[in-house]
A = this chain, B = another copy of it.
Amino acid sequence: MHEIGFIRDLAVVMLVAGATTILFQRMRQPVLLGYILAGVLIGPHTPGVLVGDARTIDDISNLGVVLLMFTLGLEFSVRKLRDVGIGMLLVAVGEVGLMLWIGYGIGSLFGWKGMDALFLGAIISLSSTMVATRTLSELGQRRQPFAQLVVGLLVAEDMLAIVMLTLLTAVAIGGSVQAEAAFTLIGHLGLFVVVGMILGLLLLPRLVDYVAGFGRDETLLVSALGICFGASLVAVWMGFSVALGAFLAGAVVAESRSSGRVVHLVEPLRDMFAALFFVAIGLKIDPAMLWQYAVPALLIAGVVIIGKTLACSLGVLVVGHEPRTALRAGLGMAQIGEFSFVIATLGLSLGVISDFIYPVAVAVSVLCMALSPYLSRSGDRVASGLRRVTPRSVQLLATSYSGWLEHLKPVNENATLAAILRRLLWHIAVNILLVVTLFMVGAYVNAHGWTWFSTVGIGREMRHTMIWACALFLSLPMLIAVYRKAGALGMLLAEIGIRESFARSYTHAIRNILARVIPLATLLLLGILLSALGSAILPPRGIAIFLLVVGAVLSVVLWRGLVHMHARLQAALKETLDKPEPPVDGAG
């Protein structure tokens, strides 16, 4: 009987996972490591343990990826990313980029083919959120200052991981098909993430809070899972991985007031499927192959530990933290984990990497996981050791560097002006992004929905006119907002730039001109951008000009109404993002 075969295999896996978790908890070793080793032990290379085909266990562990990414997204949240700060974001980008490059270099040195080397780089570039946060909890270091830095770096890396997953898909498909497809995919990605996040942030947190109001855990859980799988479905339909959709769904649901309850309900699911996921990783490993690639694996593990530690420590040092804190943060990041498996699986399922990459990735991450607690524990000792062997001059330099950084920060009036300037630029950027998105959605509908239009009996020109008009009129509130913010920007720049001592009696006139010219120039540039982007859906010139005139008239007539509508939209988004942090204890 098929079903018994499946349940039997699942039962064996679950039983082994249960025994492993007790054993490794008892031995104070990372449990994830235990799961993988248990998987290797009961795998198909130990005959007789599993009866069914590995495909069903594979399906279940894919389900694990979706739930894993959803909970990672729930712990991510836009607010946390904003709190990480631009400095740590740059550290993460630099560090991940460096590791990607080193990995690619090592792969090339071994004489592997290009795609293998690229995937090796991606695999070793991302630290493991699960391993790092567990190690912090287990050593009781979660409240220490360096732990905040590690969590910040991990959040930033999560975001980079999503970008990387998609770019790798694009490059892999592009490599085997054509470059144009890759560019289209990247365009779609932008569209998907931006539209998804904005629509999601406007709708889903409200929906989740509404459902939470029923006061029934079951309803809340099943709806949250519905959102998670629904987003995965949309992601797959747009050509991305399920992981991306689940992660975005998590990040959006995290903004609801009830996110704490959702996390609480989803955690047992994640724990169960994470166990299955990691055992399934072990199942895929042939011990003989592991032996064959022992030397590269050891070498790469060494590179990961040393490279990650150095890159993160230096980065944290450069943005202005103490050397000891920087070193401990670096040691906390010195491992790879779940994303490495997700990326390796992606490469395998796209058929672009060689078979040995997967076991190598697993071996490297197992080595790193096993060493992770020791590395984190040795932080203080290593720091003291380093201080003893470092020349005094270098130490002085490091200390004076952070003092010098403090001086660089803008103060008083300048700081206030800089803050206002940053906010205006940020608002303008978001609104332009929204307008661009609207026109791109229009182009997308035009490209993919044209059969529907022709069945309804609408010709090409009429179709273009309709889509273009819709995009234009829907953009009006955003365009007016851009115009107003650009006006404010112009006035501010005029105030700062045109000193009265210099322009004398013309001061007022020059300032006035500047405040008018900047918004108009912005709109003009935007217009050019839009006609380039929307060239595929541009109606005949006469109609386009007519529509523009209608739009302008509507803008003037409805100015107050449109400003009001935009303010309400903005307030809704701001409210979702600015609510007080709920009392959630993030990672389990």
Chain A interfacial positions (CB closer than 8 Å to B): 1-4, 6-8, 10-12, 14-19, 21-22, 25, 31, 55-56, 58-59, 62-63, 66, 211, 214, 216-219, 221-230, 232-233, 236, 242, 265-269, 271-272, 275, 349, 588
Please name all residues of chain B whose beta carbon is closer than 8 Å to the beta carbon of A55 when the two chains form the complex: 2
Cβ B7 vs Cβ A222 within 8 A: no
> What is the minimal beta-carbon distance from A152 to any residue of chain B, in angstroms?
24
Cβ B269 vs Cβ A7 within 8 A: no
Cβ A233 vs Cβ B17 within 8 A: no
> What is the minimal beta-carbon distance from A533 to any residue of chain B, in angstroms?
31
A17-B226, A18-B225, A22-B219 known; A232 and B11 CB under 8 Å? yes
A226-B18, A268-B265 known; A31 and B219 CB under 8 Å? yes
Chain multiplicity (copies):
2
Please name all residues of chain B whose beta carbon is closer than 8 Å to the beta carbon of A226 when the two chains form the complex: 14-19, 21
Please name all residues of chain B whose beta carbon is closer than 8 Å to the beta carbon of A266 when the two chains form the complex: 268
Cβ B271 vs Cβ A62 within 8 A: no
- Report how far A58 CA is from B2 CA in the complex, Å: 10
Cβ B218 vs Cβ A18 within 8 A: no
A59-B56, A216-B25, A233-B12 known; A221 and B268 CB under 8 Å? yes
A12-B233, A272-B269 known; A66 and B3 CB under 8 Å? no
Please name all residues of chain B whose beta carbon is closer than 8 Å to the beta carbon of A17 when the two chains form the complex: 222, 225-226
- Using A14-B228, A17-B222, A25-B216 as known contacts, list a sample of 14 further A-B pairs with CB atoms less than 8 Å apart, ordered by residue number in A: A2-B55, A3-B349, A6-B62, A7-B66, A7-B232, A14-B222, A16-B226, A17-B226, A18-B227, A21-B223, A25-B211, A31-B218, A56-B56, A268-B268
Please name all residues of chain B whose beta carbon is closer than 8 Å to the beta carbon of A211 when the two chains form the complex: 22, 25
Cβ B58 vs Cβ A217 within 8 A: no
> What is the minimal beta-carbon distance from A26 to any residue of chain B, in angstroms?
8
Please name all residues of chain B whose beta carbon is closer than 8 Å to the beta carbon of A18 when the two chains form the complex: 222-227, 229-230
> What is the minimal beta-carbon distance from A139 to any residue of chain B, in angstroms?
14
Closest-by-CB residue of B relative to A6 is B59
Please name all residues of chain B whose beta carbon is closer than 8 Å to the beta carbon of A31 when the two chains form the complex: 218-219
Please name all residues of chain B whose beta carbon is closer than 8 Å to the beta carbon of A222 when the two chains form the complex: 14, 17-18, 21, 271-272, 275
- Report how far A66 CA is from B13 CA in the complex, Å: 15
Closest-by-CB residue of B relative to A12 is B233
- Report how far A346 CA is from B232 CA in the complex, Å: 34
- Report how far A268 CA is from B226 CA in the complex, Å: 14
A19-B226, A22-B211 known; A221 and B272 CB under 8 Å? yes
- Report how far A8 CA is from B59 CA in the complex, Å: 11
Please name all residues of chain B whose beta carbon is closer than 8 Å to the beta carbon of A236 when the two chains form the complex: 4, 7-8, 11
From A2, A217, A229, A275, residue with most partner B Cβ within 10 Å: A229
- Report how far A109 CA is from B99 CA in the complex, Å: 76
Please name all residues of chain B whose beta carbon is closer than 8 Å to the beta carbon of A1 when the two chains form the complex: 349
Candidates B11, B223, B269; contact of A269 at CB < 8 Å: B269
16 residue pairs bridging A and B, Cβ less than 8 Å apart: A1-B349, A4-B242, A6-B62, A7-B66, A7-B236, A14-B225, A14-B228, A15-B230, A18-B224, A19-B223, A21-B219, A21-B223, A22-B219, A217-B267, A221-B268, A222-B272
Cβ A225 vs Cβ B272 within 8 A: yes
> What is the minimal beta-carbon distance from A58 to any residue of chain B, in angstroms?
7
- Report how far A214 CA is from B8 CA in the complex, Å: 29
> What is the minimal beta-carbon distance from A263 to any residue of chain B, in angstroms?
11
- Report how far A223 CA is from B14 CA in the complex, Å: 8
Closest-by-CB residue of B relative to A210 is B22
- Return the 10 tightest CB-CB contacts between A and B, nearest first: A18-B226, A11-B229, A14-B229, A11-B233, A15-B230, A218-B271, A18-B223, A21-B222, A265-B268, A6-B59
> What is the minimal beta-carbon distance from A309 to any residue of chain B, in angstroms?
27
- Report how far A226 CA is from B211 CA in the complex, Å: 33
> What is the minimal beta-carbon distance from A345 to any residue of chain B, in angstroms?
9
Cβ B588 vs Cβ A218 within 8 A: yes
From A216, A218, A588, residue with most partner B Cβ within 10 Å: A218
> What is the minimal beta-carbon distance from A442 to any residue of chain B, in angstroms?
27
- Report how far A140 CA is from B56 CA in the complex, Å: 42
Candidates B11, B223, B230; contact of A11 at CB < 8 Å: B230
A63-B7, A63-B10 known; A271 and B221 CB under 8 Å? yes
Please name all residues of chain B whose beta carbon is closer than 8 Å to the beta carbon of A19 when the two chains form the complex: 223, 226
Candidates B8, B217, B349; contact of A588 at CB < 8 Å: B217
Closest-by-CB residue of B relative to A220 is B21
Please name all residues of chain B whose beta carbon is closer than 8 Å to the beta carbon of A4 when the two chains form the complex: 236, 242
- Report how far A22 CA is from B221 CA in the complex, Å: 11
- Report how far A10 CA is from B230 CA in the complex, Å: 10
- Report how far A229 CA is from B10 CA in the complex, Å: 8
- Report how far A225 CA is from B224 CA in the complex, Å: 23
Cβ B219 vs Cβ A25 within 8 A: yes
Closest-by-CB residue of B relative to A225 is B14
Please name all residues of chain B whose beta carbon is closer than 8 Å to the beta carbon of A56 when the two chains form the complex: 56, 59
> What is the minimal beta-carbon distance from A407 to any residue of chain B, in angstroms?
46
Please name all residues of chain B whose beta carbon is closer than 8 Å to the beta carbon of A62 when the two chains form the complex: 3, 6-7
